[in-house]
């Protein structure tokens, strides 16, 4: 029952489900009580027939036997039929009408057995009152009709008795009818009132039950309901097949940080809605944490689970719209299967979580099926975090440089990208260790080290005759939160004697809404020194150009996903972004350009700077001199632009 209640549907539907269930329970209870009561009444009538009747009887027959005999014979019928029905068909409409008929016949029997001494309407009123417990007015009508028929027949047969109201006097007849009608009306009004109260309760119960099983913000199921649904089937039965999909929103924190929690919350509601549309109707989508959802896929084997996971991932290709602004979001999904990876929800959730992390580390926007070898990697992550703390001292960190070229093919600058040469694991990507360093606070010293070494390299290029080749360095939000960030940058530039106008710092939108006044102070000081500021990964978050005005940035870097999308969809989005950026005096860098086609397309629509494997991958510092030399020789970019 609770489960039924918790199922989706409007509040009204859920409340009426609950109401129907309560009425069913009530009717079954009354059926049983009435069957017992009829039995007791019968015993009472037998006692009356054998004890009171001889004393009060003044009819024509000379003994009590006919009454006792009738009572004994009628009893099993009047008590037995409703008793059997109450046992076999509790709460059914037919049962309560049979009970009503029997109860009235029992009244008739009592009146007969006492020779009409018990005022009929008293007993009839009592019977109607019992039946009113059903809260079903139709039962009262049945009872009243039985009473009327009995009175009419008995009155014709025995006009001098109490039944003879119809012939005794019209007033007597009207009085009886009036009393029965009055009581029926009274009981029906009372019954309706009681039904209204039950309905109010049912609505409250449905609300409570829903609240207990659902997430307040998104209305998706919560952990409790997820658990309830998971254990609905017998865990050890052969048919126990389920898949658990752990779904995490990529870079949701970034959106929350940049746009505020209000927008984040609204986005979560839209995400929950989309997720529940992307799974099948019998499956459950639950929100189990901030931006974490779990989908429980019923009866799924590997291929079904993978198909649904793929559907989920691709279902996020379409942007979300909040206040007219388009937000692109992707998800990383981890899959675990029952019974292969466990039969307990907690185990499966953990396994799916590990797989989800693997999906994230493979570049997000993807799904991964759990395998035990991933656990090994999970443990590696912990080890990696410990190792990272030592990496700087052990000189395992390096800076690679990726060229950025003008549309005419001339080299303009390099972007400095950190690399970690792990003694055992080899080169580790910054997408793995930068977030770790950000979380531990290590990013402050690591970032400064990257800045110093990148600026030193740039100074070296100037000395070697490549005057004007610039350097771009990524800066994390955590660094900008330091009180002395801009002073440190100034110190570094001074120490390595690099002209500040050759430095560009790349920030992401996550710097906004952290400590905006402080960020702006730092950025203003940097700008005052002629350092340039560009916004990286434009197109992954809120990507509002108005934020750029607040920041007074010098340019934006289009996220690779935008570049790829632009070519695939041939849409106008990129073109209008570039046009708007130019109108606001912003330079546009295209990033992640892998093919000559993408490069051509970006140049055609006015991109100012191009970066990507097509023009050169990030390379270690020792390769740069040869690279620059080849560039000097040809004066144009060695790769076709």
Binding site for ligand C2E (CB under 6 A): 402, 417-418, 429-431, 434, 447, 450, 474-476, 506, 536-537, 560, 591-594, 612-613, 618
Closer residue to ligand C2E (CB): 213 or 430: 430
Which partner, ligand C2E, Mg ion, none, binds residue 539 by CB below 5 to 8 Å per kind?
none
Decide if residue 537 touches Mg ion (CB under 5 A): yes
Between residue 466 and residue 505, which ones bind Mg ion under the rule CB under 5 A? 474
Shortest reach from residue 542's CB to Mg ion, in Å = 16
Which partner, Mg ion, ligand C2E, none, binds residue 240 by CB below 5 to 8 Å per kind?
none
Distance between CA atoms of residues 238 and 92, nearest Å: 36
DSSP string computed for 389-442:
HHHTTTT-EEEEEEEEE-TTS-EEEEEEEEEEEETTTEEE-HHHHHHHHHHHTT
Please name which of 353, 434, 335, 351 lies closest in space to residue 391, comparing C-alpha atoms: 434
Which partner, Mg ion, ligand C2E, none, binds residue 593 by CB below 5 to 8 Å per kind?
ligand C2E
Token code pair at residue 71: 């009572």
Between residue 588 and residue 607, which ones bind Mg ion under the rule CB under 5 A? 591
Closer residue to Mg ion (CB): 202 or 473: 473
Which partner, Mg ion, ligand C2E, none, binds residue 417 by CB below 5 to 8 Å per kind?
ligand C2E
Closer residue to ligand C2E (CB): 306 or 591: 591
Shortest reach from residue 414's CB to Mg ion, in Å = 11
Closer residue to ligand C2E (CB): 49 or 417: 417
Closer residue to ligand C2E (CB): 409 or 618: 618
Shortest reach from residue 434's CB to ligand C2E, in Å = 4
Decide if residue 142 touches Mg ion (CB under 5 A): no
Distance between CA atoms of residues 216 and 229, nearest Å: 19
Decide if residue 506 touches Mg ion (CB under 5 A): yes
Stretch that binds Mg ion, among 152-160, 233-241, 516-524, 586-594 (CB under 5 A): 586-594
Sheet holding 292-298, edge to edge: 284-289, 292-298, 242-249, 331-338, 367-369
Shortest reach from residue 455's CB to ligand C2E, in Å = 12
Q: Which of 215, 509, 536, 608 binds Mg ion (CB under 5 A)?
A: 536
Closer residue to ligand C2E (CB): 102 or 519: 519
Calculate the dihedral angle through the C-alpha atoms of 80, 86, 89, 92, rounding to the nearest 10 degrees.
120
Q: Which residue is nearest to Mg ion (CB)?
A: 506
Number of amino acids touching Mg ion (CB under 5 A): 5
Shortest reach from residue 241's CB to ligand C2E, in Å = 38
Token code pair at residue 1: 């029952």
Closer residue to ligand C2E (CB): 8 or 431: 431
Maximal C-alpha separation, the chain? 141
Distance between CA atoms of residues 226 and 331, nearest Å: 20
Which partner, Mg ion, ligand C2E, none, binds residue 592 by CB below 5 to 8 Å per kind?
ligand C2E
Alpha helices in 282-421 (DSSP H): 302-314, 345-361, 372-391
Radius of gyration for the alpha carbons in the chain, expressed in angstroms and rounded: 41
Whether the CA torsion 520, 525, 530, 532 is positive or negative: it is: negative
How many CA atoms, within 13 angstroms, populate the side-chain half-sphere of residue 559?
16
Question: What counts of helices (H) and strands (E) characterise the chain?
Answer: 24, 16
Q: Which residue is nearest to ligand C2E (CB)?
A: 612
Shortest reach from residue 451's CB to ligand C2E, in Å = 8
* Bridge partners, residue 474, by sequence: 506
Shortest reach from residue 441's CB to ligand C2E, in Å = 13
Which partner, ligand C2E, Mg ion, none, binds residue 613 by CB below 5 to 8 Å per kind?
ligand C2E
Q: Which residue has the tokens 């073109």?
A: 575
Which partner, ligand C2E, Mg ion, none, binds residue 91 by CB below 5 to 8 Å per kind?
none
Shortest reach from residue 506's CB to ligand C2E, in Å = 6
Shortest reach from residue 615's CB to ligand C2E, in Å = 8
Shortest reach from residue 419's CB to ligand C2E, in Å = 7
Which partner, ligand C2E, Mg ion, none, binds residue 450 by CB below 5 to 8 Å per kind?
ligand C2E
Closer residue to Mg ion (CB): 177 or 561: 561
Q: Which residue has the tokens 């003044």?
A: 58
3-state secondary structure 551-601: HCCCEEEECHHHHHHHHHHCCCHHHHHHHHHHHCCCEEEECCCCCHHHHHH
Which partner, Mg ion, ligand C2E, none, binds residue 612 by CB below 5 to 8 Å per kind?
ligand C2E
Token code pair at residue 618: 């990030």
Closer residue to ligand C2E (CB): 9 or 592: 592
Token code pair at residue 248: 């995490």
Decide: 565 and 573 in contact? Cβ < 8 Å.
Answer: yes
DSSP state, residue 265:
H
Shortest reach from residue 239's CB to ligand C2E, in Å = 44
DSSP state, residue 133:
G
Closer residue to Mg ion (CB): 215 or 536: 536
Pairing of strands 426-428, 411-422: antiparallel
Closer residue to ligand C2E (CB): 125 or 615: 615
The angle at the Cα of 432, spanning 517 to 515, to the nearest 5 degrees, equals 10
Closer residue to Mg ion (CB): 366 or 591: 591
Please name which of 450, 394, 454, 402 lies closest in space to residue 422, comparing C-alpha atoms: 394
Closer residue to ligand C2E (CB): 209 or 534: 534
Which residues sit at the interface with Mg ion, rule CB under 5 A? Answer: 474, 506, 536-537, 591
């Amino acid at each position: 029952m609770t489960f039924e209640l918790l199922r989706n549907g409007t509040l009204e539907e859920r409340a009426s489900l609950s109401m129907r269930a309560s009425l069913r329970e009530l009717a079954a209870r009354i059926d049983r009580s009435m069957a017992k009561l009829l039995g007791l009444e019968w015993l009472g009538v037998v006692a009356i027939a054998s004890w009171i009747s001889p004393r009060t009887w003044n009819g024509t027959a000379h003994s009590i036997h006919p009454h006792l005999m009738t009572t004994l014979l009628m009893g099993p019928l009047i008590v037995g039929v409703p008793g059997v029905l109450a046992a076999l068909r509790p709460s059914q409409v037919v049962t309560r009408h049979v009970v009503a008929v029997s109860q009235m016949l029992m009244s008739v029997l009592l009146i007969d057995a006492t020779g009409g001494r018990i005022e009929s309407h008293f007993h009839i009123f009592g019977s109607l009152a019992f039946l009113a417990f059903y809260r079903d007015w139709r039962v009262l009508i049945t009872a009243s009709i039985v009473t009327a028929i009995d009175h009419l027949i008995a009155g014709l047969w025995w006009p001098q008795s109490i039944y003879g109201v119809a012939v005794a006097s019209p007033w007597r007849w009207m009085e009886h009818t009036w009393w029965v009608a009055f009581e029926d009306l009274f009981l029906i009004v009372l019954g309706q009132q009681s039904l209204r109260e039950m309905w109010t309760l049912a609505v409250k119960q449905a609300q409570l039950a829903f609240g207990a099983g659902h997430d307040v913000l998104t209305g998706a199921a919560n952990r409790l309901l997820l658990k309830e649904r998971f254990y609905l089937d017998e865990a050890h039965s052969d048919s126990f097949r389920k898949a658990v999909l752990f779904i995490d929103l990529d870079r949701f924190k970034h959106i929350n940080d940049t746009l505020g929690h209000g927008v984040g919350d609204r986005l979560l509601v839209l995400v929950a809605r989309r997720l529940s549309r992307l799974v099948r109707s019998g499956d459950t989508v639950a929100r189990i944490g901030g931006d974490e959802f779990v989908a429980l896929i019923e009866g799924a084997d590997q291929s079904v689970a993978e198909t649904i996971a793929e559907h989920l991932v691709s279902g996020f290709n379409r942007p979300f719209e909040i206040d007219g602004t388009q937000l692109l979001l992707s998800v990383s999904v981890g899959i675990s299967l029952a019974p292969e990876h466990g039969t307990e929800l907690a185990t499966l959730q953990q396994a799916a979580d590990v797989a989800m992390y693997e999906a994230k580390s493979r570049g997000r926007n993807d799904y991964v099926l759990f395998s035990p070898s991933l656990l090994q990697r999970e443990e590696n992550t912990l080890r990696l975090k410990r190792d990272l703390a030592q990496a700087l001292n052990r000189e395992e960190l390096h800076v690679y440089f990726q060229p950025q070229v003008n549309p005419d093919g001339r080299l303009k600058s390099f972007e400095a990208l950190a690399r970690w040469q792990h003694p055992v694991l080899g080169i580790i990507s910054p997408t793995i260790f930068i977030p770790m360093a950000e979380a531990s606070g290590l990013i402050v010293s690591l970032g400064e080290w990257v800045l110093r070494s990148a600026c030193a390299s740039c100074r070296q290029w100037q000395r070697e005759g490549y005057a004007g080749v610039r350097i771009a360095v990524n800066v994390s939000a955590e660094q900008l939160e330091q009180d002395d960030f801009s002073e440190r940058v100034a110190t570094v530039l001074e120490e390595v004697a690099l002209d500040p106008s050759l430095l560009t710092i790349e920030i992401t939108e996550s710097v906004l809404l952290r400590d905006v006044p402080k960020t702006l102070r730092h950025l203003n000081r940097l700008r005052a020194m002629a350092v340039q500021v560009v916004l990286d990964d434009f197109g992954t978050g809120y990507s509002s150009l108005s934020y750029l005005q607040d920041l007074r940035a010098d340019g934006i870097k289009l996220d690779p996903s935008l570049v790829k999308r632009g070519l695939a969809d041939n849409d106008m989005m990129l073109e209008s972004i570039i046009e708007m950026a130019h109108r606001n005096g912003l330079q546009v860098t295209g990033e992640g350009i892998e093919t000559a086609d993408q490069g051509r397309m970006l140049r055609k629509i006015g991109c100012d700077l191009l970066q990507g494997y097509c023009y050169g991958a990030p390379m270690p510092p020792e390769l740069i001199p040869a690279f620059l030399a080849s560039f000097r020789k040809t004066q144009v970019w060695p790769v076709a632009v």
